[in-house]
Amino acid sequence: MLIALITLIANGHANAFFQALFGGVGAFGLATAITQAILKTKAQDLLTRLQQDADADLVVAAVAEVPDKPRVRRRAAGPARTRGMNLATVPERLIAWPK
């Protein structure tokens, strides 16, 4: 089609119908290219956002894991060991250890 347009214009025999036809095809091609560029940009933005959300979910899942209950030998805490220390204890029933 492009070759036909060049031939008609070069010979000077291009009538108004062909000029209008090729002008319409050119305008349609330009509008299609613009639409494609806009859609490509939006798709890339969407994929970037999706990747950031997936990364954030992975970080949240990694941080939210509760470690196993530690096995600690219990020693009696005498007054000499705790004198001057600010001790705050949490009852065992308030800690949600995984089973």
Tokens 């639409």 sit at which residue?
35
Domain boundaries, the chain: 22-67
SS (H, E, C) 38-69: HHHHHHHHHHHHHHHHHHHHHHHHHHCCCCCC
State how far the Cα of 1 lies from the Cα of 24, in Å rounded to an integer.
Answer: 13
pLDDT at position 30 is 93
The closest of 43, 35, 1 to 18, measured between CA atoms, is 1
pLDDT at position 49, please?
Answer: 94
pLDDT for the residue numbered 41: 96
pTM over 0.85: no
Q: What is the pLDDT along the chain (99 residues), one digit of tens a residue?
A: 667 667 666 676 667 777 778 888 889 999 999 999 999 999 999 999 999 998 988 888 777 776 677 776 665 555 555 555 555 565 665 666 565
| 3-class DSSP state of 36 | helix
What pLDDT does residue 59 have?
A: 85
